[in-house]
Amino acid sequence: MSWTSWAQGRNAKAREKRRWRQLRELDVFGARGTLHDGRRVVVFAANDYLGLSAHPEVMAAAHRAIDEWGTGAGASRLITGSRPVHHELEENLAQWKQTEAALVFPSGYSANVGILSALAGPQVLICSDELNHASIVDGCRLAASLGAKTELYRHNDIEALEGLLGSWAGRSVVVTDSVFSMDGDAAPLSELASACARHGALLLVDEAHAVLGPYFSGLPCEVLRIGTLSKALGSQGGFVACSTEMAQMLVNRCRSFIYTTALAPSSAAAALAALRVLRSPEGASLLAQLEGYSRRLLPGRRLASPIVPLITGSEEAALKASEALLEMSLFVPAVRPPSVPPGTSRLRVSLSAAHTDDEVELLVKSLVQLDLLPVGTPSARLL
């Protein structure tokens, strides 16, 4: 059988299972876009939580960086060196996360895969929450190929984690998302840190979606804080905030840092400008607006993030609901297996401070109309 025939067979199986996916053209700027057929839509799918990808200061910083350094970094930082903006960004990230150092990667995915494999080896146990992001899952798989033992623990189950750590005599690592990307719930970081402290484990926390928290400092264990530049900061790339010794180890050992072209200077400059906006009074205002929008969809519930999962169960129901919203000019894609477990297909609503009050009101009314939100969900405008 040729490889083309093999690919055709795989494609046919995906269609049979109604799990066929294809790319959709969407010309978007900020929270609004145009589909390939000319329809205008409001996008409730992106992770640009604060709308900083279209912020004038962020875009201007990227333009200045292109004028000064061109469009690419040229090679890995160990080959061609770092641009000044890389170091400035890392210094500011470390200050923000209250760590000694930070190290920037071309993506959050490469950060997770590279860091977990750099920590791997015989006599190392890596414990991963069962709902962690795919980049963590792949990092654990690579770590296992390098001799580490990897174990899943039940979602946010401290007792199950304690059982794994207590039965291991070697070095151990616990890795978790701080906010889980498909459910929008938060990890119990204080309890996780206490468990790590009792067993001498290193805690890796991926804060990619933690725009509204959970916030933490001074945890009673060693911590690596992994983050992204491509969501709340509206740019591209990933980073780890950690001790100076750990950062130096990664520069010398982490393959996804050593053997790849560095983050484009324009992306680093955009992220740095976005971080400055985030830490300013304007950033506080954007966060407050985002939190208010999130409470519109989840009134009276404990708020963890601007991610609102609306479980439909079947894949067909999720696709049907997504298409119905598209007819209402709302772009909310369906999320299906393998991204989520079978039977838990959903719409994943992602809110942004870039949305307007009218747009959020339209979303709420439309979801109520489709029986995806309770009828009593408030639809009055925010004050």
Indicate which residues carry an active-site annotation: 181, 209, 231
C-alpha distances in Å from residue 283, one per residue of 18, 24, 52, 77, 206: 42, 32, 10, 31, 21
Mark 36-62 as b/e (b = at least 16 C-beta within 10 Å): eeeeebbbbbbbbbbbbbebeebbebb
Owner of token pair 């920037």 = 104
Owner of token pair 């990933």 = 238
